[in-house]
Structure formats: structure tokens, C-alpha cells
Amino acid sequence: MIGNTVQGRTHKEYEPVGIRAGSFMFFPSIDLRGEYSDNIYATKGNKVDDFIFGIRPQISGQSLWKRHSLRMSAYGSFGLYADNPDENFEDAGVNTDAAIDIAENSRLNVKVSATRDHERRDSPDDARGTTPTIYHRITPELKFDQRINRVALRLMASAEYIDFDDVETNTGAVLNEDDRDRLTWELEGRVGYDVSRNVQLYVSALTDHRTYDDQFDDNGVERDSNGFGVFGGIIVDLAGTLSAEAYVGYRRQSFADASLVNVSGVAGGLNLIWAPTKLTTVTVTGERTVEETTLTGSTASLNTAFDLSVDHELRRNLVITLSAGYLNRHYEGIARDDDNWRGSIGMQYLISRHFRLRGGYTYNSRRSNLIGTGYDTNSAYVNLHVDY
């Protein structure tokens, strides 16, 4: 993999000092953010603008062991709206990532994260309550890697549990969100072969199961499903210049309720990092996936996404980022297609070891064949990041 990207590059004179405690290093930090948005509810008409003040304290830790490793972090994220306090949010999360070196060519990774978050107003599944929908999520993951000469074996097991809180309408009625609570687990196996020092070919297969806490949602629909996928891929790694992974295959999701149409078709992904010069990094990603939705009458959304970003180091302590993205959501079972576009420009200025300044502008747009669901938003922000 490219280890010297613009964003990943470190400059010792600007690196935080941290706090050593035994065999661990801890890095406390805090973000102070000011943002303006001209459409905080992501609506077609009757736009409402506001200023948002955000604060995000965080502490992360890293082991200093010679063998094995452990990373962990905890954060809070708080947003205060100047004129619309019902949109205020208080999010938080903890993350752990452990790597166990079983043998020279065997490694086990264990990741666990738990978060309290809020649903964005531009989400098609947003219940449009008087306050944002709060949800809690737990995501454990196990990954085992084994190398036998040129053969690379990988086995992954992951799960995700999401619990949504109810919200109220303008009339005081309670919108039940419990029928969205669900558990998803997935198993994936992969076999790769090193064709050369820089190229690996692989095949993979996965299966998943999605189970809702309520057997039937508020519309009487059973949304449990089972899925599988088979893929072939290639990984190319030209040290310092190009790192790329591309895969393509077949994906199918079958639903328990006979009224829901099964989803199947071509799926795949792309992740490319290119360094045309030491001062510029180009990143391209693409993915076609089957995602859950609770829109009435829809089975799932078939998502096709592409993102492009360019990072350029104007000076050692000044980086400019340009990015653009496209997402198409095709909803199976209903006549709805959404085209989402995004463009942004950002800047990061490293002031010292302890301070860095960020700022930027973002444009978001959704065009849909369902009348009244499109929107345009413009937002600008300034962020002061403080490290120890």
C-alpha cells in the first residue's frame, strides 16, 4: 500500500506529543467547529438556514508492545443550533482494535465499536420528527489472516445491531421506530494468490442474515432477509505510486415476506490511491451494494456510489483537498430513484504541534423522480483542532 499519501504523511515538527502511561501512549484532543447551512432540514422548499456550533472531545490510545497491538478511542460530539435548538445533538462512541500476532504468518484482528448517533435529515429513512432520530449501534468484527507461501487466506465475521429511539411529531404523536431495530451478521471467506510481487488475484464468498426485533413492521411487512455474494478481485500495489483493489461479482438478497421483491444483480467495488507526485494524492472509490430501507413498499435500496478526491500539499503545513461524489439509490419494489451529488473544497493548516485549522465548503444535491424529495444544500465550516 502507498504509505506516503498527502493526508497520511507525518511531519515530526507538527506531530502531537501525547502522554505516556506505562506501555501505552494517549493522545487527547478537542475539535471546535463553527458551521453555516442554508438548508438544515434538507427540503425542496421552505428552506431553513442556521449556524451550528460543534465541540468534539476525544482521547485515543496506542500500545507500545513489540508484539501484538491495541488501539482504542472514545469521543463525544455535540452540536448546538443557534435558532433551532430542537436539532441539537449529543453523540458519543468508543472503539477498540486489537491485533494478535499468532505466528509469523498468522494474525487475528478484533474490532468492537459502540456509538450513540443521530440520523441525518437528508436520510430518505428519516422519520421527520420534531427532533432527529437517535440510534445506538454496536459492531463487533473478527478477521483472521493466514499466509502459506504465495497463498493468502482470510476469514471474516462481523455483526451490527442498531436500536432506534421513538420520536414525536408536531402534533405530539409518537412515531414508533422500534420496527427498525435489527441485527445483521455476515461471514466472508477469501482466497488470494500472489501472481507477482505487486499483483494478487483473489476469489471471495459471503453470506449474511438480517433479523428485525419485531417480526412485522408497522405496515405488517416481515423484513427479515438472507443474502449471499460471490466475487473475483485483483489487488495491485506499486510501492509509492499506485495502490488499487477492484472486485466484481453477483449479489442476492432474499426476503421472508412474499410481498417484498428479492434483489439480485451485479455488485462490486473499487479502491484506488494514486500518487502522481510526492505532493499530490488522488483517491477513487466505487461500490455497488444492497442496503436496508424501511420506506413503505420498498424491499431494499440498490446503491451505486463513486467518490473522487485530490489532496495537494501546497506547503509542508498546508493541504488543499478537492472532492466530488455521486450516489444512486434505486429502491426495489417502488418507483423511486434518487441521484445524489456532492462537491467540496477544504483546507488544513498545521499551525503547530498542538493546533491545526481546517475550513471548507460543501454542496449537496438530491434529484429524485419522487416529487418533493429533492433538495440542495450549501454549507461552510471552520474547525480548530487542538492536540496535546
304-349 pLDDT tens trace? 999 999 999 999 899 999 999 999 999 988 889 999 999 999 999 9
Please give the tally of structural domains in the chain: 1
Residue 254 pLDDT exceeds 60: yes
What is the distance between the alpha carbons of residues 212 and 207, in angstroms, rounded to a whole number? 17
Band of pLDDT at residue 54, cut at 50, 70 and 90: very high
- SS3 string of 36-78? EECCCCCCCCCCCCEEEEEEEEEEEEEECCCCCEEEEEEEEEE
Nearest CA among 267, 272, 226 for reference residue 245? 272
- Whether 6 maps to a domain, the answer reads no
Cα dihedral 158→8→310→305 (10° resolution): 0
Residue 248 pLDDT exceeds 90: yes
- Residue 45, number of CB atoms within 10 A of its CB: 6
What is the distance between the alpha carbons of residues 207 and 187, in angstroms, rounded to a whole number? 5
Band of pLDDT at residue 2, cut at 50, 70 and 90: low
Mean pLDDT over residues 213-241, rounded?
91
Q: Could you tell me if 345 and 311 are in contact, meaning their C-beta atoms sit under 8 angstroms apart?
A: no
pLDDT the model gives residue 10: 78
What is the distance between the alpha carbons of residues 43 and 47, in angstroms, rounded to a whole number? 6
Band of pLDDT at residue 7, cut at 50, 70 and 90: confident
- Residue 132, number of CB atoms within 10 A of its CB: 22
- Whether 304 maps to a domain, the answer reads yes
φ/ψ of 121, rounded to 5, equals -70, -20
Secondary structure tally for the chain: helices H, strands E? 0, 21
- Give the model confidence (pLDDT) of 96-140 as tens digits: 999 999 988 999 999 999 999 999 999 988 888 999 999 999 999
User: Nearest-5° angle of CA 369, CA 373, CA 374?
Assistant: 80
- Give the model confidence (pLDDT) of 59-103 as tens digits: 999 999 999 999 999 999 999 999 999 999 999 999 999 999 998
- Whether 7 maps to a domain, the answer reads no
Total-model pTM: 0.88
pLDDT the model gives residue 104: 87
Collapsing DSSP states into helix, strand and coil, what is residue 256?
Answer: coil
Q: Could you tell me if 49 and 93 are in contact, meaning their C-beta atoms sit under 8 angstroms apart?
A: no
What is the distance between the alpha carbons of residues 83 and 86, in angstroms, rounded to a whole number? 9
> Given the DSSP bridges, would you call strands 263-277 and 280-291 parallel, antiparallel or unpaired?
antiparallel
Residue 4 pLDDT exceeds 80: no
Mean pLDDT over residues 357-365, rounded?
98
Residue 210 pLDDT exceeds 90: yes
- Residue 37, number of CB atoms within 10 A of its CB: 22
What is the distance between the alpha carbons of residues 194 and 74, in angstroms, rounded to a whole number? 38
pLDDT the model gives residue 128: 86
Could you give the count of Cα atoms lying within 13 Å of 107 in the half-sphere of its Cβ? Answer: 12
pLDDT the model gives residue 343: 98
pLDDT the model gives residue 165: 95
Band of pLDDT at residue 171, cut at 50, 70 and 90: confident
- Whether 2 maps to a domain, the answer reads no
Band of pLDDT at residue 8, cut at 50, 70 and 90: confident
Q: For residue 121, what are the domain limits?
A: 12-387
Q: Could you tell me if 164 and 171 are in contact, meaning their C-beta atoms sit under 8 angstroms apart?
A: no
- Give the model confidence (pLDDT) of 255-292 as tens digits: 999 888 888 989 999 999 999 998 999 999 999 998 88
- Residue 308, number of CB atoms within 10 A of its CB: 16
The percent of residues above 70 in pLDDT, for the chain, comes to: 99
Mean pLDDT over residues 18-45, rounded?
95
- Whether 216 maps to a domain, the answer reads yes
Band of pLDDT at residue 293, cut at 50, 70 and 90: confident
pLDDT the model gives residue 145: 97
Nearest CA among 84, 96, 1 for reference residue 48? 84
CATH number of the structural domain spanning residue 382: 2.40.170
Band of pLDDT at residue 1, cut at 50, 70 and 90: low
Residue 240 pLDDT exceeds 80: no
| Positive/negative CA dihedral, 102, 103, 104, 106 | negative
Would you give the distance in Å from CA 155 to the centre of its chain? 22
- Whether 348 maps to a domain, the answer reads yes
Residue 247 pLDDT exceeds 70: yes
Cα 135 to Cα 117, 130, 177: the distances in Å are 6, 15, 10
Grid cell of 173 as nine digits: 404523536
Nearest CA among 301, 306, 302 for reference residue 287? 306
- Whether 188 maps to a domain, the answer reads yes
The percent of residues above 90 in pLDDT, for the chain, comes to: 79
212 residue type, one letter: Y
If you count them, how many residues does the chain have? 388
- Whether 107 maps to a domain, the answer reads yes
What is the distance between the alpha carbons of residues 326 and 274, in angstroms, rounded to a whole number? 20
Residue 185 pLDDT exceeds 80: yes
Grid cell of 384 as nine digits: 480548530
